[in-house]
A and B are shown apart, each in its own frame.
Chain A
Amino acid sequence: MKQKLLQINALTKTFPGVKALDDVDFTLKQGEIRALIGENGAGKSTMIKILAGIYQKDSGEIIFQGKKVDIDEPAKAKKLGLAFIHQDVNLIPYFNAIENIWLGFNYPREGFKFNKKQMEAEVKELTDKLSFEFDLHRPVSQLSTANKWLVAILKAFMMDAKLLVLDEPTAALTDKEVKELFINLKRIKQLGIGIIYISHRLEEIFEIADSITVLKNGQKVADRKIDEVDKETLIKLMTGKKALTRFPKREDTNKSEKNILAVKNLSGNDYQNICFNLKENEILGFFGLVGAGRTELMESIFGLREIRTGQIKLANTEIEIKNPGQMVQSGIVLIPEDRRDAGLVLNMGVDENISLPNLNLMTKSSFLKNIDKSKQRKEAAQIVEKLNVKTPSLTQPVKYLSGGNQQKVVIGKWLFRDTSVFIFDEPTVGIDVGARSEVYALINNLVADAGVIVVSSDLMEVMGICDRIAVMSNGQLTGIVDKKDFSEDKILQLAYKEVE
């Protein structure tokens, strides 16, 4: 029988107006991977922040390694051996792995110099113990996201962590990288380390976790062994809805055979010789491994990157792509993958973000280009209502919204004007199940009078919502699969197909 590592009893935390955690119990044994799941706002991050010493609990007790502890500041959590590894892995990009791992510890010295040999030796000892394999001497900016996670984990081990908290580790990973990470996590757990695993991706929880705790509205609604539950049950527990169809059904109205976008022999720096058509009322998926060139291709079509050769026709008229502004005018928009980085001006309000690309349609005088603020408010309010964006006010800076609501604002920006082609790059990364199905429903609505391209690394997602799937590998289009021929094997084969 494995020993209890962490026990939380009756944890409660109230914020003004909200009970973020209400009498929550939680246990974690040594060598156990426990998934912590729930919708945005369920209380996961509040609980983690209390463990990390960032928030103070109102009541309840935390018992760690058999002793009652009081974590009143982050340094205390570190001292106890609790390590928190976050989505945006915090590493210094131009330091290599060894330097990053040692950061925060006293570098060993040899006379007037750092003792680099000893630094490397100690890190090597750790990597051997965990059987991690990657280049320790490269700047971490050149490592894959998966390897950055390994560096962060090593850093945790360096401080002798007994408990790891991983927050959405797979959000930016390809399926292959996820598999590697999981192999590594299983090794870690054999060393008796306990892991709290937070993720929105239910499929992988069944692969990696031993047990699951589900939170909803600040309360614990379930504590199960992994083999006692299935996905449907979990979704039901999280959302409270009976049976939530993951991919909402699309009303097949008019299926046009009209080509709205035709790309011919397009080549750029990261992709070669791409040909495809997009029909009106069609959702075309773009699947591939990270680095296959999908994002680069889409950014070129949107005017953000250089195109070397090739031809693009929009509604049978050839267009020359100059810049995003011109593409927006002609009716092509791109909803970027990283919404905080490329989709939103975080300090600006919901209304200002929504109106940002549309200001030229909201001016009072074409000479002064002065903004009609009442129109801006009205249009923003309509979009907020239509997309069910949860925000206290229209002027609320978007940085205070949850991931799902931020994504709705990014999409909402583009609903104001006439658009014939919507390109979504990873539309559901990092947002919860409920918001996800809302995004899918929205895409389904859009396709009623436009063409939609969805770039995604989530195979289930493209298979669930697309009419056809284009697969890319290493900068080339390796195939386009029709809905009737969809199969995981077939698509993965195309994605892994070796091209020169």
Chain B
Amino acid sequence: MPTHPDQKYVDALCRGDNRLIEEIYQQHAPKVSQWVCNNNGNTADAQDVFQKSLMAILARYCNQDFNLSCPFGALLFSICKNLHRKGLRQNKQEESLRNQVEMEYSTTEEAHDLLEKAEEAVEKSRIQACLEKTFNQLTELCRQALQLNAKGHSGEAIAEQLGMSNRNAVYARLHDCRNRWRQLYEQQCKS
């Protein structure tokens, strides 16, 4: 499929291009806000859903070769709707909205494709958000060691920076930190 010219917005999120990110807000925030407010939500909900959707795009599409094949706004809006529906489902207000959303989408292949993409991105960002929550429960030393290790710093460099005795101590600590993180994730995030 040919790359859509809106690919630049996905790239902007991955790279952090301030000007284009503001353009995303300019173009799409009013529409999302209006839709959420018309569907049992308020402006704060809309803002929340909008941010989470952009994070979902980051999580889903910034780690691989990805070519956007549809307008950015369509993907974003589709994820926003999905997230808002999930939020409402938790609040047990969803039923009427679900019917409405399903009626709104035609059964064309494109609409299905978009719904599927949104579902994947939302699931991906759920996992990432839960990893973030549990990561923040680790000790500061763990967080720093894992971050430095992920940036490719050597065991010796990490030992020096964090005041640990040697690289073996760093590896042992990294190992314990990963185990703890995994354990917290299993306890709190397994669906």
Q: Judge: A and B partners, yes or no.
A: no
Binding site for A on B (CB under 8 A): none
Q: Which residues of A contact B (CB under 8 A)?
A: none
